[in-house]
Structure 1
Amino acid sequence: MATQYSISGTTAKGIAASVEAAVAGGDLGPGDALPPVRRLAEELRVSPGTVATAYKELRRRGVVVTRGRGGTVVAAAPAVASRRPPKVPAGLRDLAGGHPDAAFLPDPPALVAPPSGPRSHRSTPRLPRLEERVRAWFDADGVPCESVTFAHGALDCVARLLTTELRPGDAVAMEDPGYHHLLDLLQAMGLRTIAVGVDDEGMRPDLLRDALRAGARAVVCSPRAQNPYGGCFSPARRDELVEVLRQAPDVLVIENDHAAEIAGAELNSLTTGGLARWAQVRTVTKYLGTDLRWAAAACDPVTLARHDGRLLLTSGWVSHLLQAAVLTLMDDPSAQLLVARAEVAYERRRTALVKELAERGIVAHGASGMNVWVPVRDESAVVNGLRTRGWWVAAGARFRMAAAPGVRVTVAGLGTSRAAGLASDFADTLGESEATYGG
């Protein structure tokens, strides 16, 4: 019955709105099947074409997906229902959230005021001193800095860049495993993802070439601190990827250098390869403050114009108060000292865990950044096994498209003295599941 699915309406728009409301309200959850087109049409006394149009609109907006003979089902992360990580059970050490260690975050500055005097925020959207500081920031790593702009965080910037270039149904080459919020964002935008496998040096050139041949119109990748795998571009890998991308000059390449100051690895950026369409996005949330929803981007002139044109039509500019706060922390010696200490600490913690796991015969990946990726056969068995031992790690399912299973461990808050304990518990967990793991 249509009422069973909380679906009503006599027009395509009304039916789509009813399904969307049911998803947003929790009456329909991820994976729940919608009625076949003809059956719902009979129940609602509308034409099959009306229902088909409604389903098409829901697919375009990322609310549902169609699985061939499997029918139409609610998407794993529908655009109208925020997919949030599960709450950390009481008493467990949280290694799943991807958060920085609060001990290395500087205190937020007291309320700051932007330069006084009459001015037009829309005509001067960026504080000149911060813009100058940002140019120097990119330039220090060799990233071309003639064209820079600001946004309300990295995801906001990536979304705006993609919406100015692509249309629903277009394909984007994405890291696999990759950052789950980016994967969810693309689905919500109605874009298709083409999985590009990664290793310790980042995106694999052969698989990127396959993705471009399959029609990818944009590429989103991380040059270092790749989340969740931890890979970082070597000079050779950067050159290989640039060579592949030069064969597709119309493709927009977006580098997400989200952990620039704490990655623990040098930058080997695709932006130095003379690409026609490119942008590198940086933010400060991982090392200056998780509530500083600000990002900077260096890009080619065409990309800059399109991004800023869309920004002008929406929010207009990034808050000058926020810009002033970011500038204050960027120029604060004590804050910068904390950032430097964080980079060293995260590298030691990451290296310690990978070493302790290796000594117990467990392969792990974490060449840079705050996360370690551990391949496993059964994610649920590992997550639940570690939970019984007091650890909370992230199942890899939300990061993966076609990649093999694994779990992500955020090491930011894991002191080196605790690495051996976690590794031992990890080994014990795998031992208990040896039948599942083929032991």
Structure 2
Amino acid sequence: MATQYAIAGGTAREIAASAEQAVAEGRLRPGESLPPVRALAGTLGVSPGTVATAYKELRGRGIVVTRGRGGTVVAPAPVVTSRRPPRVPEGLRDLAGGHPDPAFLPDLVPPGRLSPGARSHRASPRLAELEELSRAWFERDGVPGGRVTFAHGALDCVSRLLSVELRPGDAVAVEDPGFHHLLDLVPALGLRTLAVPVDDEGMEPAGLRAALRAGARAVVLCPRAQNPYGSRMSAGRRAELLGVLAAAPDVLVVEDDHSADTAGGPLHSLATAGKDGPGRWAQVRTVSKHLGTDLRWTAMACDPVTLARHDGRLLLTSGWISHVLQETIVRLMSDPATTALVAGAAIAYEERRTALLAALAGHGIGAHGVSGFNVWAPVRDESAVVNGLRSRGWWVAGGARFRIGSAPGVRITTADLEPADGVRLAADFAAVLAESAQTYGG
């Protein structure tokens, strides 16, 4: 089917809706060109201005992008399709999911006494006991815990923050490579993405400086266990980034410390700088990586303006986080056995990650992962490596869905990868790279 026949309509809204539906249904694929404005206008019998307005709406919603003389094309990850990972083929060892080892997750037992009756909790949305536990959780790592609030999950929290702080067309600085759901979320909110390169120490200062000069009004980053690269911000990098941010006091800085209890290594947070830190800041922490993936709860520490804006929007939408969920988390965070289990998980994740890195290095393969339980391995051809490892029984994540402009790579989740298995994987990885080198001629 010719591209123009995938789009119909007589008004800008109808044309935009038709194109969006074609993308959602796969009739228009990422990277595929849309017809030139005048060509589609002639086909549909409308004015070029009508088509131009429709394309502008599609661009604003992150469905298409304009590439100068390359015309208008479907975005690499259009927001109506998301960067969902492919289904794991049957019989393969799944190292692509980014999930914790179930053996280190506690049993989820809901509270014996459920909240009575049908009543609103808007007047007291946070359980006092969990609020105090959250303050202590942040302050343990030097993050100011004077103002805390809750959300339904890290992305829910970040989405709300960006929605109340920014307007469509504003820019957000994000890590590249970075968390694929965040890379989808930003354009879905009608915002522009400014990619900032990362290395083993986190966001690169020069890239952040360039993003701020390009108009970034918010920065979202991971201080440790960065996904997918495995960065951990060093004390020196923290000082460099604070120096860059000093020239942009009104920019909101959001830290996603999603694996605070199992990341491995100390936290060097921008938020710990006190009066020398960002004026507008928030640190977000979740429990899904160490207490259970079904526990959709997030704690956030932040400055007073950010707290008021976040909670004001929360009040108008969901209102509060389930008190049943909050009571369950209180029990887990207060349970000595759970604390010991989480501590064991942190040790195991460190051993498994470093064992794979060492095994890869033994074959001359450089990879990254100083924190968390993901390893990022740069490769020339992601598809060749993913398919080559698949033929050997392994399923790893191709890096395309984590990248904006950074070099290719694959992400390997090591949470349940025992060191002996890591040795086998590294050998297979080396064999696949050798086959790929022969294909490319060295």
Counterpart of 2:286 (choices 283, 286, 302) is 283
| 1:316 matches 2:322 | no
Gaps of 5+ in 1: none
Q: For 1:217-236, what aligned pairs fall within 5 Å after superposition?
A: 217-236=217-236
Cα gap change, 1:112 to 1:370, in 2 (>3 Å): farther
> In structure 2, how many angstroms separate the alpha carbons of the residues matched to 1:188 and 1:82?
10
> In structure 2, how many angstroms separate the alpha carbons of the residues matched to 1:67 and 1:435?
34
Counterpart of 1:401 (choices 399, 404, 417) is 404
Q: For 1:368-407, what aligned pairs fall within 5 Å after superposition?
A: 368-407=371-410
How does the TM-score come out when normalised to structure 1?
0.96
The answer for the alignment partner of 2:254 in structure 1 is: 254
Deviation at 1:126, TM superposition (A): 0.9
Q: For 1:25-424, what aligned pairs fall within 5 Å after superposition?
A: 25-113=25-113, 116=116, 120-273=120-273, 274-424=277-427
> Is the 1:2–1:8 contact (alpha carbons within 8 Å) kept by the matching residues of 2?
no
> In structure 1, how many angstroms separate the alpha carbons of the residues matched to 2:162 and 2:7?
32
CA RMSD of aligned residues (A): 1.7
> In structure 1, how many angstroms separate the alpha carbons of the residues matched to 2:82 and 2:211?
28
> In structure 1, how many angstroms separate the alpha carbons of the residues matched to 2:133 and 2:53?
50
> In structure 2, how many angstroms separate the alpha carbons of the residues matched to 1:372 and 1:360?
16
> Is the 1:378–1:437 contact (alpha carbons within 8 Å) kept by the matching residues of 2?
no
> Is the 1:12–1:53 contact (alpha carbons within 8 Å) kept by the matching residues of 2?
yes
Query: Which string of whole-angstrom CA distances, capped at 9 and with x for unpartnered residues, describes residues 219-276 of structure 1?
Result: 1111000111111011111111111111110110000000000001111100012320
> Is the 2:173–2:211 contact (alpha carbons within 8 Å) kept by the matching residues of 1?
yes
Q: Which moved more, 1:220-229 or 1:80-89?
A: 80-89
> In structure 2, how many angstroms separate the alpha carbons of the residues matched to 1:238 and 1:437?
40
Cα gap change, 1:359 to 1:296, in 2 (>3 Å): same
Query: Which string of whole-angstrom CA distances, capped at 9 and with x for unpartnered residues, describes residues 273-302 of structure 1?
Result: 232000000001111111111111100000
How does the TM-score come out when normalised to structure 2?
0.95
Three-state SS of the structure 1 residue aligned to 2:437 is coil
> Is the 1:148–1:298 contact (alpha carbons within 8 Å) kept by the matching residues of 2?
yes
Alignment-mate amino acid for residue 324 of structure 2: L
> Is the 1:285–1:293 contact (alpha carbons within 8 Å) kept by the matching residues of 2?
yes
> In structure 1, how many angstroms separate the alpha carbons of the residues matched to 2:184 and 2:117?
42
Alignment-mate amino acid for residue 345 of structure 2: A
Query: Which string of whole-angstrom CA distances, capped at 9 and with x for unpartnered residues, describes residues 178-197 of structure 1?
Result: 11111111121121111111
Alignment-mate amino acid for residue 188 of structure 1: A
Q: Which moved more, 1:112-121 or 1:43-52?
A: 112-121
The answer for the alignment partner of 2:8 in structure 1 is: 8
> In structure 1, how many angstroms separate the alpha carbons of the residues matched to 2:350 and 2:221?
21
- Report sequence identity in percent: 70
> In structure 2, how many angstroms separate the alpha carbons of the residues matched to 1:188 and 1:80?
8
Q: Which moved more, 1:18-27 or 1:276-285?
A: 18-27
> Is the 2:96–2:411 contact (alpha carbons within 8 Å) kept by the matching residues of 1?
yes
Cα gap change, 1:67 to 1:241, in 2 (>3 Å): same
Three-state SS of the structure 2 residue aligned to 1:43 is helix
> In structure 1, how many angstroms separate the alpha carbons of the residues matched to 2:82 and 2:404?
19
> In structure 2, how many angstroms separate the alpha carbons of the residues matched to 1:111 and 1:420?
43
Deviation at 1:117, TM superposition (A): 8.2
Deviation at 1:115, TM superposition (A): 5.5
Q: Which moved more, 1:147-156 or 1:12-21?
A: 12-21
Alignment-mate amino acid for residue 28 of structure 2: L
> Is the 2:12–2:51 contact (alpha carbons within 8 Å) kept by the matching residues of 1?
yes
> In structure 2, how many angstroms separate the alpha carbons of the residues matched to 1:326 and 1:368?
25
Query: Which string of whole-angstrom CA distances, capped at 9 and with x for unpartnered residues, describes residues 131-185 of structure 1?
Result: 1110111011110111111111000101111111111221111111111111111
Deviation at 1:386, TM superposition (A): 0.9
> Is the 1:112–1:325 contact (alpha carbons within 8 Å) kept by the matching residues of 2?
no
Three-state SS of the structure 1 residue aligned to 2:172 is strand
Alignment-mate amino acid for residue 183 of structure 2: L
Gaps of 5+ in 2: none
> In structure 1, how many angstroms separate the alpha carbons of the residues matched to 2:26 and 2:260?
38
> In structure 2, how many angstroms separate the alpha carbons of the residues matched to 1:124 and 1:29?
47
> In structure 2, how many angstroms separate the alpha carbons of the residues matched to 1:87 and 1:47?
43
> In structure 2, how many angstroms separate the alpha carbons of the residues matched to 1:3 and 1:210?
37
Deviation at 1:28, TM superposition (A): 2.3
> Is the 2:22–2:28 contact (alpha carbons within 8 Å) kept by the matching residues of 1?
yes
The answer for the alignment partner of 2:428 in structure 1 is: 425
> Is the 2:4–2:43 contact (alpha carbons within 8 Å) kept by the matching residues of 1?
no
Alignment-mate amino acid for residue 327 of structure 1: V
Query: Which string of whole-angstrom CA distances, capped at 9 and with x for unpartnered residues, describes residues 80-125 of structure 1?
Result: 2233100111111111110111111111113554555897411211
Cα gap change, 1:329 to 1:437, in 2 (>3 Å): farther
